[in-house]
Chain A
């Protein structure tokens, strides 16, 4: 990564008008050097103000910096410059999803799906949005049933909000697992899901099945390490034909599991695992709710 950044920086220094700033900005973003990535993207935009990919890069950097509004505006700009830009629809859908605007998110992701029906990340994101919409619908239904004749409207409204808050565990890792490229689950000692989702392309949440099957592997890892004298295990990565699954032990014998597409570099999968572990640790410290 460092070599690539050096090579791209030198190339850009030789020719400041080169479009290589897009690769450099992306490499810096992936490496977590967000301030530098932002600088490179902004300088690139000064020279190429109508370059859709430059606005797309700026939007992705903004997401990583937690600036969702800015990201949305940049992707909106991309959409104006390049109406058929897939990344802009995906990004806008993601921002709206993060903001809890599931119906609007579904609109943009459906448009993205129309642009490229083969894109797995769009299908996964769309499936997640539909799960959330169904959950919200279910919560409204439950509230409607409780709030039937004679109920105090203010009380039912509060219950409704509390009910939705109980669903927050599903999105514990959403900020880290950007764009549906990977997914994360937190399992308890018995393999039951505590947080996170694992949604298939057809919209089924298979977190429980995946968790139950894979949590047994960590027992085996623990047993092996005890006998081999290599100390405590800190991560287990399994590459399969379809995906890469990385696991890490958590407090109280809980297990964190991150699954990513095979196309994702292994190093990046481990970074995502580490970030999810930090998030899960903080969440468990707060009592896991």
Chain B
């Protein structure tokens, strides 16, 4: 089902190397909107990414480092990036060779446009 957020999410997925992008509720890890390549397990991915982002946000806050603006997890076969706003987390999963600098910039721009 398309929502008014779908074009923003879909534009991120069109970036080279991006396998999927999701807007997730940070508190319960439920998908608000998503555009995923075939074969990606959306709900599981959303829950794990939201949990990771939430943990990072709470830990950084407890450590006196302020709010989290961006998170990037690099693994041997890909990247997970997340950026949050108003209890929502914008998450992407990308290939190992994706241009993360560009994706980061696009994610932060996209997050500015997300209004619920």
Interface residues of A (CB under 8 A from B): 206, 209-210, 213-214, 216-217, 220-221, 223-225, 227-243, 245, 259, 266
With CB as the reference atom, state the residue of chain A lying closest to B63.
A213
With CB as the reference atom, state the residue of chain B lying closest to A248.
B74
Task: Specify which of A228, A232, A259 is in contact with B80 (CB 8 Å cutoff).
Answer: A228
- Judged by DSSP, the binding face of A is mixed
| A236, B53: Cα distance in complex, Å | 11
Q: Are B63 and A209 in contact (CB under 8 A)?
A: yes
Interface residues of B (CB under 8 A from A): 44-45, 48-49, 51-52, 55-56, 59-60, 62-80, 93, 101
Given A214-B60, A228-B48, answer yes or no on A245-B76 (Cβ-Cβ < 8 Å): no
Q: Which residues of B contact A228 (CB under 8 A)?
A: 44-45, 48, 80, 93
Q: Are B73 and A225 in contact (CB under 8 A)?
A: yes
With CB as the reference atom, state the residue of chain B lying closest to A262.
B69
Given A214-B60, A217-B59, answer yes or no on A238-B76 (Cβ-Cβ < 8 Å): no
Given A213-B62, A224-B51, answer yes or no on A230-B67 (Cβ-Cβ < 8 Å): no
Q: How many A-B residue pairs have CB under 8 A?
A: 98
| A243, B62: Cα distance in complex, Å | 14
Task: Specify which of A216, A217, A239 is in contact with B70 (CB 8 Å cutoff).
Answer: A239
With CB as the reference atom, state the residue of chain B lying closest to A210.
B63
Q: Are A241 and B66 in contact (CB under 8 A)?
A: yes
With CB as the reference atom, state the residue of chain A lying closest to B44.
A227
Task: Specify which of A223, A227, A238 is in contact with B71 (CB 8 Å cutoff).
Answer: A238
A203 CB, min distance to chain B CBs, angstroms: 15
Given A230-B75, A232-B75, answer yes or no on A239-B68 (Cβ-Cβ < 8 Å): yes
Q: Which residues of A contact B80 (CB under 8 A)?
A: 224, 228, 230
